[in-house]
Structure 1
Amino acid sequence: MSSSGTAPAYRRLSVDERRTQLLVHALGLFANRPPEDVSLDDVAVSAGVSRPLVYRYFPGGKQQLYEAALRSAADELEQCFTEPQTGPLTERLSHALDRYLAFVDGHDAGFTALLQGGSVVETSRTNAIVDEVRRNAAEQILTHLGVAGKPGARLGMAVRTWIGAVEAASLIWLDEGKQPPVEELRDWLVDHFVAVLTITAAGDAETAALTQRALSMEPHDGTVGRLARRVLPVVADATHLL
Structure 2
Amino acid sequence: MSSNGTAPAYRRLSVDERRTQLLVHALGLFAHRPPDEVSLDDVAASAGVSRPLVYRYFPGGKQQLYEVALRSAADQLKQCFAEPCTGPLTTRLSRALDRYLLFVDEHDAGFKALLQGGSVVETSRTNAIVDEVRRHAAEEIYAHLNPAYGPSGPGPRLRMAVRTWIAAVEAASLIWLDEGKQPALEELRDRLVQQFVAVLVTTAAGDPDVARLTRKALHVEKRDGPVGQLARSVLPVVEGAAHLL
Q: Name the CA shift for 1:182/1:57 in 2 (closer, same or farther; >3 Å).
A: same
Give the equivalent residue in structure 1 for 2:146: 146
Q: CA deviation at 1:112?
A: 3.2
* Alignment counterpart, residue 158 of structure 2, candidates 149, 155, 159: 155
1:60-209 maps to which residues of 2 (within 5 A)?
A: 60-116=60-116, 120=119, 121-146=121-146, 148=149, 149-209=152-212
Cα displacement string for residues 98-157 of structure 1 (whole angstroms, at most 9, x for unaligned residues): 11112122232443354356x645533212211111111000000000052422111101
Cα displacement string for residues 155-204 of structure 1 (whole angstroms, at most 9, x for unaligned residues): 10110011111111112212222111111011001001001111111112
Q: Name the CA shift for 1:48/1:139 in 2 (closer, same or farther; >3 Å).
A: same
Q: Name the CA shift for 1:104/1:14 in 2 (closer, same or farther; >3 Å).
A: farther
One-letter identity of the residue aligned with 1:155: L
1: CA distance, partners of 2:142 / 2:124: 26
Q: What is the TM-score with the length of structure 2 in the denominator?
A: 0.84
Q: CA deviation at 1:14?
A: 4.2
State percent identity of aligned pairs.
Answer: 72
1: CA distance, partners of 2:54 / 2:172: 34
Give the equivalent residue in structure 2 for 1:212: 215
How many residues get paired? 237
Q: Name the CA shift for 1:12/1:86 in 2 (closer, same or farther; >3 Å).
A: same
Give the equivalent residue in structure 1 for 2:33: 32
Q: CA deviation at 1:49?
A: 3.0
Q: What is the TM-score with the length of structure 1 in the denominator?
A: 0.85
* Alignment counterpart, residue 239 of structure 1, candidates 232, 237, 242: 242
Q: CA deviation at 1:234?
A: 1.2
2: CA distance, partners of 1:69 / 1:110: 11
Q: CA deviation at 1:34?
A: 5.6
Cα displacement string for residues 5-53 of structure 1 (whole angstroms, at most 9, x for unaligned residues): 9799697684556434433443434863364x64423433454432112
Q: Name the CA shift for 1:200/1:10 in 2 (closer, same or farther; >3 Å).
A: farther
One-letter identity of the residue aligned with 2:166: I
Q: Name the CA shift for 1:90/1:204 in 2 (closer, same or farther; >3 Å).
A: same
2: CA distance, partners of 1:77 / 1:133: 7
Q: What's the Cα RMSD here? A: 2.7
2: CA distance, partners of 1:218 / 1:18: 49
2:222 counterpart SS class: coil
2: CA distance, partners of 1:226 / 1:99: 22
Give the equivalent residue in structure 2 for 1:53: 53
Paired residues of 1:162 and 1:196 also in contact (CA < 8 A): yes
* Structure 2 residue 230 is the aligned partner of structure 1 residue 223: no
One-letter identity of the residue aligned with 1:176: E
Paired residues of 1:30 and 1:38 also in contact (CA < 8 A): no
